């Protein structure tokens, strides 16, 4: 495993160093007098980042494919902030996940407005499903361990999910560019089914076959914990309203500033088939310079309660922010090291603290490059339970399903980032759980700092 991790890190370093080719005709010197600027080239025109996707996530496996990020900096007066960004990704993983995504982001198409458009289609052949309400849903690793006498299936805590996401967000500048009002709309088309064991067993030897048995999702459907009207997924139309305050000095890795937001998420029942509900998402992030241009500290706190209605089970595992939506607590983008989607409920409370050290800075192949190490601590919990019927759970299964009380879930770890022109960031993070009830550890190689 260590050799495998080292290979992945080496590939990330190689692809990161080759990732970005500047297609601008000119490169000019910056006008300010800071020592950091003296060492850098201000980028102008187009900057094109493209690389094979070489990543690893303990939850979704080895990732392969291709991505490209096209930035336009104009005359360079806003560098390192881009004028336009277009992100494209096509990727697959060895555990059956797929990403087909396009994201466009700009502050310069509509006057005094930041616009973000997204079209994505995600496929998950074996997405984690551990029940509801955090530790109240018992996780038994022995059920997935084929060397244990209590083994059920490596797919026991999995289901199959595909999801189409179409999003349009508009942030209107109210006071300069720091204070903004947000109006957005997101359409989710979510399809759920049990794991396709027959398909996963194709080409396997007899001693490698997955047993054809019920998964936890199958049991929840049979026991009426998951409603018949929701068991195959459904459509959700979500309207986003809120305010954002953003005083960060840069977006890739801020050295100072605040990024706070208050969002109302309303999912009305347009057709009468969907559940109607509303959530609140309050998130505060703050960044401090401990040593100029070298060492910074960052933290994030978020509280996301349900306001009214009933959230369909398939929309529970989501964390909402002004820039993106993420799967619920646990995994690469929320609580590193903890099993992805381990913590699912109506209300969430979570936080992250991170120390980042830029230990190398230079110009490589005409690109501004720095390397950074980070250490972190992540924690979160379900602060409001998802209510479900438990009358149909067999008495013999109660102890395996829901017996414990929810408490804080925590993880800690370290990472490495390769940053090109402040915006293109290849990151490697390794996290370990505090409690094995959340798994053991996770290794993640992907793009960008966590926040």
The 10s digit of each residue's pLDDT in 14-61 is: 444 444 444 433 334 333 434 444 467 888 888 876 667 666 655 556
Q: Quick check: helix, strand or coil at residue 58?
A: coil
Q: What is the pLDDT of residue 60?
A: 59
Give the β-pairing of 295-304 and 158-175: unpaired
Strand-strand pairing, 233-246 and 295-304: unpaired
> Would you state the pLDDT for residue 272?
61
Other Cβ atoms closer than 10 A to 20: 24
Name 67's bridge partners. Answer: 51, 89
Sign of the Cα torsion 138, 144, 145, 151 reads positive
How many residues are there in the chain? 451
What is the distance between the alpha carbons of residues 310 and 276, in angstroms, rounded to a whole number? Answer: 7
Average pLDDT per 10 consecutive residues for the chain, totaling 451 residues: 41 42 39 47 80 62 82 88 92 83 95 96 93 93 93 94 96 92 96 90 82 95 94 95 96 96 93 81 98 97 97 95 86 95 96 97 88 98 92 80 87 96 90 96 89 94
To 5 degrees, how large is the angle CA 252–CA 98–CA 137? Answer: 85
Q: 302, 413, 407: which is closest to 351 by C-alpha?
A: 302
Tokens found for residue 108: 């310069």
318: exposed, middle or buried (Cβ count in 10 Å: 0-12, 13-18, 19+): buried
284's enclosing H/E stretch is strand 277-291
According to the model, what pLDDT value does residue 77 have? 87
**What is the rounded CA–CA span in Å between residue 387 and residue 32?**
57
Say yes or no: domain 65-358+378-409 is CATH 2.30.30.
no
Q: In whole angstroms, what separates CA 328 from the centre of its chain?
A: 9
3-state secondary structure of 365: coil
Closest by alpha carbon to 60, among 94, 108, 107?
Answer: 94
Measuring CA to CA, which residue among 450, 268, 264 is closest to residue 375? 450
> Tokens for 31?
């006008």
Q: Answer yes or no: are the C-beta atoms of 245 and 259 closer than 8 Å.
A: yes
CA-based torsion, 346, 143, 429, 160: positive or negative: negative
pLDDT digits (tens, 9 = 90+) for 150-194: 999 999 999 999 999 999 999 999 988 899 999 999 999 999 999
Buried b (16+ CB within 10 A) or exposed e, 328-364: bbbbbbbbbbbbbbbbbbbbbbbbbebbbebeebeee
What is the value of pTM for the model shown? 0.84
């Amino acid at each position: 495993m260590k050799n495998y991790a080292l290979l992945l890190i080496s590939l990330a370093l190689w692809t990161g160093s080759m990732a970005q080719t500047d297609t601008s005709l000119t490169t000019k010197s910056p006008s300010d007098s800071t020592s950091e600027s003296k060492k850098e080239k201000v980028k102008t025109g187009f900057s094109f980042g493209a690389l094979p996707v070489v990543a690893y996530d303990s939850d979704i496996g080895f990732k392969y494919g291709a991505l490209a990020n096209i930035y336009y900096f104009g005359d360079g007066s806003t560098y390192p902030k881009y004028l336009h960004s277009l992100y494209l990704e096509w990727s697959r993983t060895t555990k059956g996940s797929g990403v087909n995504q396009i994201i466009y982001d700009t502050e310069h198409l509509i006057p005094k407005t930041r616009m973000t458009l997204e079209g994505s289609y995600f496929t998950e052949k074996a997405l984690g499903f551990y029940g509801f309400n955090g530790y109240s849903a018992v996780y038994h690793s022995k059920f997935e361990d084929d060397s244990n006498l209590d083994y059920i299936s490596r797919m026991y805590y999995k289901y199959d999910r595909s999801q189409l996401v179409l999003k349009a967000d508009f942030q209107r500048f109210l006071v300069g560019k720091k204070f903004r009002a947000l109006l957005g709309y997101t359409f989710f088309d979510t399809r759920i089914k049990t794991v396709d064991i027959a398909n996963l067993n194709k080409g396997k030897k007899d001693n490698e076959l997955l047993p054809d048995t019920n998964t936890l999702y199958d049991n929840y459907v049979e026991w009426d914990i998951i409603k018949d009207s929701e068991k195959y997924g459904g459509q959700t139309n979500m309207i986003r309203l809120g305010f954002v305050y953003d005083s960060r000095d840069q977006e890739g890795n801020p050295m100072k500033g605040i990024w706070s937001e208050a969002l109302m998420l309303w999912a009305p029942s347009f057709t009468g088939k969907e559940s109607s509900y509303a959530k609140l998402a309050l998130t505060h992030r703050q960044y401090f310079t401990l040593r100029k241009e070298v060492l910074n500290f960052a933290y994030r706190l978020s509280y996301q309660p349900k306001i009214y209605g009933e959230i369909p089970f398939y929309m529970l595992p989501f964390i909402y922010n002004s820039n993106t939506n993420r799967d619920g607590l646990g995994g690469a983008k929320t609580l590193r090291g903890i099993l992805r989607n381990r913590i699912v409920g109506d209300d969430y409370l979570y936080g992250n603290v991170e120390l980042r050290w830029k230990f190398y800075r230079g110009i490589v192949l005409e690109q501004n490059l720095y390397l950074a190490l980070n250490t972190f601590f992540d924690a979160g919990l379900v602060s409001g339970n998802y209510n479900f019927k438990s009358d149909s759970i067999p008495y013999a299964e109660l102890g395996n399903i829901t017996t414990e009380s929810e408490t804080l879930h925590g993880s800690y770890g370290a990472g490495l980032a390769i940053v090109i022109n402040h915006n293109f960031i290849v990151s490697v993070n390794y996290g370990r759980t505090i409690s094995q009830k959340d798994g053991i550890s996770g290794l993640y190689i992907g793009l960008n700092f966590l926040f």
